[in-house]
Amino acid sequence: MNLFQFCYGLIHWLVDLINNIWYWLGDHLPWWFGNFFTDVGDFARSHAHIAVMAILLEVLIIIIIALINVLNFIWLDRKFMGRMFDFYGPYYVGYRIGGWLQNLADGIKLFVKEIITPAKADRIGFFLGPVIFVGSSFAALVTIPLGWDFYIGTNSGPTVPGVYPGVPASLLIAFMFFAIAPFSILISGWSSNNKYTLIGGMRSAAQMMSYEIPMLLCVASVVLLAGSFSFHGVVAAQHDIWFAIPLFIGFIVFMVCLVAEVEIQPFDLPEAEAELVEGWTTEYCGMRFGLFMMTSYLRGYIGGALAVALFLGGWQGPGFIPDPIWFLTKAYIVFIIVEWMRWSVPRVRVDQILNIGWKRLLPLAMLNLLVAATLKVWGVF
Amino acid sequence: MAEMWINMGPQHPMTHGLWNLRIKVDGETIVDAEPEVGYLHRGIEKICENRTYTQVIPISDRLCYGSSMSWSHLYCLTVEDLMGIEVPERAEYIRVAVLEMQRIASHLMWLAAYAADLGAMIGFIYTMRDREIWIDLLQALTGSRITYNYPRIGGVAHDLPANWDRDALRACDYMDKKLKEYEDLFDGSKVFMMRNEGVGILKKEDALNLGVTGPPLRASGVKYDLRKDQPYSVYPEIDFQPCYHTDRDCYARYKVRMDEMAMSCHIIRQAIKKMPKGKWRVVAPRNGPVGTGLGRVEDPRGEGMMYLVGDGTDRPYRLKIRSPIFVTVSAAPKMLIGYKVADVVAIMGGLDMCIGETDR
């Protein structure tokens, strides 16, 4: 049973339950209601309605899982940073669960703060920036499966060999949504009408330009080996060996690009707090800033999930652990390694980051593609 | 891209203190720079004219939050020059030991701020943690942690507490270990070297012409250290070498300060070993003579100088303070032009700005 079937069954059961009362009402209310009750009840029981509701429920489940993971990630980040830095990290709020409730407390604090739009800011752009940033990042969650049976989709299991469950080109869609965010950063940086945010936005655009290409070349090598644009296909192709082993160069390049894409410490030039105050988020306050903050961790979560699905065998592991838990465990480990790096190295400079991108990562990504093509031609995969 | 002026300050994370750096950028490249100081002017020189010679000591502590000991010592040195007081030898050795401790604490605070500027938060936490040891030692000696009010005209306020010299020697051993750790953490980091090497080059001639002193001058290849070149206190009897570097960039400034910390540990060990028994203070007269006094010391940030005019009363007629950073910051345009916006934090952070003494 996959997630869709589960949701479909749940909605169906719920509709039947309500319909019992609904039809009873239709039978006992005055005649001038006509067939209204029967028509509505029949519509509610129809396959189309239940399927749509089931998809909405699926999306809700995936988003809730993602948000809980984001809270975990922020907590883990602060706790891990604290241990690295010789202090405890969050501690008092939620004492018995290791200070986990600190994030919720911070969120409530941000909620009650006033949202200020600067007088000289471009109001539409200033509002659209966070909307696009948050929206595109959540949209990237849509096609990432957490397990063989745990994904947003309507079809169930492979019916024809070579056809995988879920959206056929799920990988492309995920990367498409993932790559939208820098535009929103540019929009919000420019519309804030502030020199720091403008420089931050321009840096973000430059950074995205130089790191999107090697990243997608690494993805191309994975797709080449797996022979499928679907996450399910890529993970299924890693049944015998993780792609991180034959495509070792690609894995390293992908991780570096990922860190640059989610703007984590050595490459967090757009929000370099030393010289640009808070970078492109300088003028944002209250919950808008909170959304930016939360979404940057959400992007960390998506990045970890992408790295796991593409290179680290996805949800495949010892069978006794459920797929999603295995998948998320790997994503957490990837995230912790990224955070480890984040808190221990300085930030690179803008010309250096472009040099790394164009002079080092791009040739390495090409080399990696060559390795993948060679392996494919030899028939290893 | 059009050129534009950016204010980095007065409220900005790059400025440690309250000052303003205006830079003109072409895209990301700096084409012009203009430091502005004076936001924190407290009129300390004027305040000093209304206080007796002894009452000025706590005020001179307030000159710099990073190294207040060296400033109150400098003031006492100046008044002793004016009054012609001979300081007991034990007091001189205690002064040398605490001054070098203050130098290490100040450099550690600089390293913390510098690492945080470059983005390595771990450097900030580790260096501040190790600074605690020196601050604790000074607290055990003087009773306070930032403004010590310890030197007196004619000696120091009181003798060393029990076992203090043993703890100081242990702290030196600990520091030697930690300096190796910092070397692994920073010198071993490729990103740190990328941010520092070849950045903010200050030519030897420029440094000399602009009056730059202290670690930035020694990092430009000039072997100028007042402890050696114009010795005060008991520095001539202590074996040490001024640390200098010829690379002239941010890395050289970092390296000079790291070497100085190791050298300061060396000096503290010698000062504690050579410290004689005896008096630690002579009583100074209340009224100073008519005349002038001049004191020059090697502050952690450069050459600190005080010039004092006495008019025969118990108050200074005029006190002039030469702050090292006030002079050094004028070299900012020479160092900044041609580099990127992100280099501003590395270059200006490498100067170890302290606005308390700059604006006085």
- What average pLDDT does this structure show over A238-252? 86
Query: Can you spell out the DSSP letters for A307-366?
Result: HHHHHS-TT-S-TTS-HHHHHHHHHHHHHHHHHHHHTTS-PPPHHHHHHIIIIIIHHHHH
Question: Average pLDDT over chain A, rounded to whole?
Answer: 84
Residues of chain B with Cβ-Cβ distance to A273 below 8 Å are 13
Which of the pair, B14 or B265, is modelled with greater confidence?
B265
pLDDT at B104: 92
pLDDT at B18: 84
Q: Which two tokens stand for residue A289?
A: 């800033």
**Is the model's pLDDT at A48 over the cut of 60?**
yes
**Is the model's pLDDT at A158 over the cut of 70?**
no
Global pTM reads: 0.85
Q: Which two tokens stand for residue B48?
A: 């000093």
Q: State the virtual CA torsion across B170, B173, B174, B175 in degrees, nearest 10.
A: 120
Whether B14 sits inside 8 A of A274 (CB atoms) is: yes
Asked if B191 is an interface residue toward chain A (Cβ–Cβ < 8 A), one would say yes
- Model confidence at B136, pLDDT cuts 50, 70, 90, reads very high
- Model confidence at A156, pLDDT cuts 50, 70, 90, reads low
The predicted-structure confidence for B286-343, as pLDDT tens digits, reads as follows: 888 898 999 999 888 888 899 999 888 888 898 999 888 888 888 888 888 888 888 8
Whether B122 sits inside 8 A of A196 (CB atoms) is: no
The amino acid sitting at A56 is L
Q: Which two tokens stand for residue A373?
A: 């093509």
Q: Which two tokens stand for residue A115?
A: 């949202």
Which residue in chain A has the smallest CA separation from B124? A85
The amino acid sitting at A372 is A
CATH fold label, B45-328: Cytochrome-c3 Hydrogenase; chain B (1.10.645)
The predicted-structure confidence for B186-213, as pLDDT tens digits, reads as follows: 888 888 888 888 888 888 888 889 888 8
**Residue A241, Ramachandran bin (φ over 0: left; ψ between -120 and 50: alpha; else beta):** beta
Which residue in chain B has the smallest CA separation from A351? B340
- Rounded Cα gap, residues A172 and A178, in angstroms: 10
In a 13 Å sphere around the CA of B338, the CA atoms on its Cβ side amount to 7
- What average pLDDT does this structure show over A343-365? 86
The predicted-structure confidence for B163-179, as pLDDT tens digits, reads as follows: 898 999 999 999 999 99
Question: Average pLDDT over chain B, rounded to whole?
Answer: 88
Asked if A273 is an interface residue toward chain B (Cβ–Cβ < 8 A), one would say yes
Which residue in chain B has the smallest CA separation from A282? B12
Judge contact between B44 and B360, C-beta under 8 A: yes
The predicted-structure confidence for B229-283, as pLDDT tens digits, reads as follows: 888 888 888 888 888 888 888 899 999 999 999 999 999 999 998 888 888 888 8
Query: Chain B closest CA to A18's CA: distance in Å?
Result: 57
Whether B342 sits inside 8 A of A86 (CB atoms) is: no
Query: Chain A closest CA to B269's CA: distance in Å?
Result: 29
Tell me if residue B23 falls in helix, strand or coil: strand
- Rounded Cα gap, residues B11 and A282, in angstroms: 13
**Which of A349, A354, A360 to mutate to test binding with chain B, by most B CBs within 10 Å of its CB?**
A349
